Amino acid sequence: MTDQPGPLAGFTVGVTAERRADDFITALERRGATVRHAPTIRIVPLVDDDQLRAATDAVLADPIDLAVMTTGQGFRGWITAAREWGVGDALLRRFGAARLVVRGPKAKGAVRGEELTEEWSAPEETNAEVLDYLLERGVAGLRVAVQLHGAPLPEFVGALTEAGASVVEAQPYRWLPPVDVDAVIRLVDGAIAGDVDALAFTSAPAAANLLTLAREHDRQGPLLAAMRAHVVCACVGPVTAAPLVEQNVPVIQPERQRLGALVKLIATELPTRKRVG
């Protein structure tokens, strides 16, 4: 019996992620896609991140009243780094003595994996829900630790500060420019030329930095035109999609903000939007 070609046979998908890229690429290739991998950002190793260490020391210096965990991966990464520094147990004790608010089931699972219990979890997994919850209950005079992921949240943190909270920001997985900028520009040129059928994004910084690098290399206009016309832009969720939506780029998103759901969406949507040959 001859194997049937996958739904993405004949299609080329650009992957911009660094973290979990191997899993993502393998899943797309199993469905027949040709994948071009060009990470648009790179991740600072946690144990070497002086800013994360400084934030950890700040949390340990004095008790906190409230801790906000936005992602499971970020929380686990923070605890792993803290253990490397020999302060993991102390950090968990700080969290255990504080009220814990989490943004969705992944953060909830990570917190419970360390035998902690959350006060509340955002039903729709959004930062806006978390912020509304905190402000409705009041944060004036509270010392709040906020675990970010990948990029600062100035509006979120600013609103807490304006409401009277003292905020410590911890940002596991800080993003830096990619090691291979040329690979990114080759991906951009492929999208402009029509050689790349879809671009996949799993983080807002990756989406934003693709546009930044295109602009720095005099390609932003043609790239945006291609993304609006013939390149399918697939994003894991609304936060990831925001930098593209701001530029009036149409995006597709799975109902569940998961990598597997994104792969299934690409395999379903791409063949219906652009037929090979």
pLDDT band at 1 (very low <50, low <70, confident <90, very high): very low
Residues forming beta bridges with residue 102, ordered by sequence position: 69, 121
Q: What are the b/e assignments for 110-138, b being 16+ CB within 10 Å?
A: bbeeeebeeeebbeebbbebbbeebeeee
Beta strands 198-201 and 166-170 are unpaired
pLDDT on residue 10: 94
Predicted confidence at residue 149, as pLDDT, reads 76
Domain boundaries, the chain: 12-41+178-273, 46-175
Percent of the chain surpassing pLDDT 70: 96
On the question of pLDDT at 111 being above 90, the answer is yes
Between vectors from CA 246 to CA 224 and to CA 220, what angle results, nearest 5°? Answer: 25
Q: Which fold has domain 46-175?
A: Rossmann fold (3.40.50)
Taking only the tens place, the pLDDT of each residue in 121-163 is 999 888 999 999 999 999 999 999 999 976 678 999 999 999 9
User: Which residues sit opposite 175 in a β-bridge?
Assistant: 43
Does 200 have pLDDT greater than 80?
yes
pLDDT band per the 50, 70, 90 thresholds, residue 257? confident
**Confidence band for 274, pLDDT divided at 50, 70 and 90:** low
What is the CATH architecture of 12-41+178-273?
A: 3-Layer(aba) Sandwich (3.40)
Q: Please give the residue that has the higher pLDDT: either 195 or 240.
A: 195
The least confident of 35-49, 58-72, 152-166 is 35-49
Tell me the pLDDT tens digit for each residue of 6-29.
Answer: 999 999 999 999 877 899 999 999
